[in-house]
Amino acid sequence: MGVSPENAGTESPPPLDHAGKLPFWGKVYAALTFLLGAGAVSLSVLDCHAGHWARFAVFLTCAVAASSLKVSLPGIAGARSVNYLFILIGVMMLDLPQTLLVGVACRSVQFLSRPRRRPKPADLVLHLSGSAIAVACSYLVYHAVWLRRLDGSMPTLLFAAAMAYFLASTFCSAGTLSLTGGGCPWKIWRESFLWTAPQYLASAALAGLLKLCTERIGWQGPLLVLPALYLIYRSYRIYLQRLEEEQQRVSRMADLHLRTIEALALAIEAKDSSAHDNLSRVRFHATEMARELGASADEIQALSAAALLHDIGKLAVPEYILSKPGRLTPEEFEKIKIHPAVGAAILRPVRFPYPVAAIVEAHHEKWDGSGYPYGLKGEAIPLGARILAAADCLDALSSDRQYRSALPLDEAIEFIVSQSGISFDPRVVNVLKRRYRGWRDRTGAAAEPDGGPASWAGTRAPQTRPPELENVCTPDRRQSRTPSLGNDPPNFTVAIAAARQEFQTLHEVTSELGNSLSMEGTMSLLGTRLKGIVPHDAITIYVCRGDRLIPQYVQGRDFQLFSSLAIPIGQGLSGWVAEHGKAIVNGNPSVEPGYLNAPAKLSNLNSAISVPLVGVNGVLGALTLYHAQRDAFTRDHLRLLLAISSKAALTIENALKYREVQRSAVTDDLTGLPNTRSLFLHLDNEVARCKRTNTHLAVLVADLDGFKLVNDRFGHLAGNNVLKKVAHGLTRACREYDYVARMGGDEFVLILPGMTAGALARKSQDLCAMVRDAGRDSTGEELVSLSVGEAFFPEDGADAEELLSAADRRMYQVKRSHRTERVRGIRLKDLAQAPAESASGPIWSDR
């Protein structure tokens, strides 16, 4: 804002440039002002005559003294003085030379008192010329014959003189400020001087009263007025100082609040070092576009604050969604879409003096009505929100994001232009298209030297354009339906707390899942944690086995029902999810028990949500939650389950592989029986238990006789089939707590707790019969038999090795006896079939 002529000397006025640097019309104005001022002085010299010098001296003294009584108004550049009151009195009571001298003296005192910089002679001449012109105009109007003929009353003449002084002085000052500071003179005069007109009229009224007082008590009357003016000045000065101090305090608080807002915005937005530059660019472009579109000062202030705070509602969005490097799912994007409404709910209690919350709430609305959160259309969207949408999109396109690289600025503008009338207000787009190059040069200084966000400076290498740009200004880059927010504003405190709790819970779940390799522990942990995340009445985790889904973990209502399910893949609710790899929300749970073929087994659960468990090698199962209420699950529940299911699937897959490795480490691959390593561990444990409980233990070592003959005559596949049948038969012949293991080759070991010698003899006969049947079923002949050796704890040994050694020794004794009996049987058979002896003697002899 400029300063009025009476203030020009108070604050050092801006100096004129050297004459050689002034434009042509500036030189013409300076010359014209000087000539008019010189003409006024010349006119006063011609009208000069002696008289009333004592009165002149009094008026000059009062005017110069009053020039030092200056008051700085808060928010107004320069200071205010009452010296023009004595100039108006001089117009009425002095002649033109004396009045002109009073005005020039007052201006000189103002111009030269306490300057910040030493004024140049050219500046002084120009300002004094302007003062001479104003005084001369005022004097000539007051004494104009034509005006006295129209209305010769003192009030009319005095007010006309005051307005002539006001217009001449302010026009000269506006012209000077236009030369020194730039800008339109008319605009400077309207904004900086027009409002001071009532001060001149009030001074004219006071000057008229002083003239009347002078006519009563003489021309020395102003001397009596000066102390009163000084008292008023001191009171007013103290008041204004207090007011200025208060305004400075308010200004400091406003600056502090603005810095707090900016720091808060950075804390929300700053995921990297370029966040400050991003916010600054968005605010700069938004406010510049608002000025181009003729927005009011309050709208520009609101837009400046909204540009910093437009994403404050993302406090209610979980961090794992905001920082997700890939494309968002539709459910995650639905969660993102709450942030404008939440941001507005956060900002409304702040009670900004301008509409910040409305801009934040609508900055994702689109011109064609396809935006969110309310689907506003066209002019129904606040102007600030329309401007902010374009500015934010421009910065998003031309900055690196976690889900894509930055576009060159020209390509970003092309995309915004293509969305004119669709996503953005055409007027806003036109301004941005016309001015973005100039703004780029002004914001390019913020680019980092290493080429970070340097696409603004035009120096970045062109990036590969993403294959699709629809809705690219949002992380999801896809259209989605507008969410229904209801009539009530969102409770932002609940939303923010829920987002924080959700992120913390998901972090804990995924961390704990990553530390587990146990199938049972993994599923139990998952079931326990899901209870607090997605409320449900029953949970089942299904795993694919062949062409069916088998429940691996069941908890909650209808436990027995769901535990007995075996759902064909592709059928039912969970089977469909497993086959297609897609989730179902609020499905019908009653289709699951349909595969039991037991109509009496029904469930009273009424809704289900099921998500596929996708591992590295494809879908490995399904996670299904059931609820007694209808439509109990929401898309938000689905989003949470999907966020957990990917980690849970990998953990379950690892647990399955780990269990398989564990099983293969202690299990024989061919027969499925425990192997030697598992045998020794179990036998050690059983021996220790028998020692503690003082009980007996029987150990059998069994070996197949004739098994080599099976392999030689029928091949190894037939031999493997015999081993499998024998292993299956041994297991079926034992009790639940007995233990059967394959020790290697065709040798098996049985651990029989509490078995007596009599019962063991009968058990051995049954086992031998079972082995003969298994061999006959596989080969059609009785080629295979069983040799069994037994040992008892504690009679035959005190540890596993002693017991196995004793049983193995007895087994070989039995095997030798079986071999001897078989050889003797073969010989007897051969003798029975031999012909009678010939004359030469017997065919077989010991020789």
Residue 447: pLDDT band by 50, 70, 90 thresholds? Answer: very low
- CB within 8 A of 353, min separation 6: which ones? 298, 301
Structure tokens at 543: 């795993």
Helices (H), 478-518: 492-514
CATH 3.10.20.30 given to domain 5-224: no
Residue 48: pLDDT band by 50, 70, 90 thresholds? Answer: low
Residue 643: pLDDT band by 50, 70, 90 thresholds? Answer: confident
| DSSP for residue 327 | P
**Of 383 and 36, more confident:** 383
**pLDDT per residue over 222-267, tens digit each?**
566 666 666 666 666 676 677 777 777 777 776 777 777 777 666 6
Quick one: angle between helices 185-192 and 154-181, nearest 10? Answer: 120
Q: Give residue 285's pLDDT.
A: 87
Q: Which residue, 627, 585, 635, 581, is CA-closest to 609?
A: 585
Q: Which residue, 300, 270, 258, is CA-closest to 283?
A: 300
Most confident of 63-72, 168-177, 257-266, 731-740: 731-740
| DSSP for residue 20 | G
Structure tokens at 490: 């969102």
**Of 784 and 67, more confident:** 784
- Is the model's pLDDT at 601 over the cut of 70? no
- Is the model's pLDDT at 444 over the cut of 60? no
Mean pLDDT for the chain? Answer: 75
Residues of the chain with pLDDT > 70, as a percent, come to 70
Least confident of 295-309, 344-358, 474-488, 743-757: 474-488
**pLDDT per residue over 742-782, tens digit each?**
988 889 999 999 888 888 888 888 888 888 888 888 888 88
Residue 387: pLDDT band by 50, 70, 90 thresholds? Answer: very high
**pLDDT per residue over 675-700, tens digit each?**
888 888 899 999 999 999 999 899 99
Distance (Å, rounded) from C-alpha 590 to C-alpha 572? Answer: 9
- Would you list the DSSP string of 91-108? HHHS-HHHHHHHHHHHHH
DSSP H or E stretch at residue 744 = strand 739-744
Residue 739: pLDDT band by 50, 70, 90 thresholds? Answer: very high
Q: What is the sign of the dihedral through the CA atoms of 383, 385, 391 and 393? A: negative
Pinpoint the residues of the chain covered by CATH 3.30.70.270.
676-833
- Is the model's pLDDT at 479 over the cut of 50? no
CB count within 10 Å of CB 484 equals 7
Residue 826: pLDDT band by 50, 70, 90 thresholds? Answer: low
Pinpoint the residues of the chain covered by CATH 3.30.450.40.
518-664
Fold of domain 271-447: Hypothetical protein af1432 (1.10.3210)
CA distances from 524 to 73, 519, 563, 615, 628 (A): 75, 8, 15, 19, 22
- Is the model's pLDDT at 649 over the cut of 70? yes
Mean pLDDT, to the nearest integer, of 170-189? 72
Q: Give residue 226's pLDDT.
A: 60
Per the DSSP assignment, residues forming a β-bridge with 177 are none
- Is the model's pLDDT at 509 over the cut of 80? no
Q: What is the sign of the dihedral through the CA atoms of 138, 139, 145 and 150? A: positive
| Preceding amide of 15 cis, omega within 30 | no
Helix (H, G, I), strand (E, B) or coil at 612: strand
Residues of the chain with pLDDT > 90, as a percent, come to 7
Structure tokens at 809: 């020794």
CB count within 10 Å of CB 825 equals 10
DSSP H or E stretch at residue 479 = none
Mean pLDDT, to the nearest integer, of 148-173? 81
Q: Which residue, 321, 237, 282, is CA-closest to 642?
A: 321
- Is the model's pLDDT at 13 over the cut of 50? no
Residue 443: pLDDT band by 50, 70, 90 thresholds? Answer: low
Most confident of 399-408, 489-498, 814-823: 814-823
**pLDDT per residue over 560-596, tens digit each?**
888 888 888 888 888 899 888 889 998 888 887 665 5
- Are the beta carbons of 331 and 382 closer than 8 angstroms? no
Residue 486: pLDDT band by 50, 70, 90 thresholds? Answer: very low
Range 518-664: architecture per CATH: 2-Layer Sandwich (3.30)
Q: Spell out the CATH class of 676-833.
A: alpha beta
- CB within 8 A of 276, min separation 6: which ones? 266, 270
**Of 843 and 142, more confident:** 142
Pinpoint the residues of the chain covered by CATH 1.10.3210.10.
271-447
Pinpoint the residues of the chain covered by CATH 1.10.1760.20.
5-224
Distance (Å, rounded) from C-alpha 513 to C-alpha 523? Answer: 9
DSSP H or E stretch at residue 741 = strand 739-744
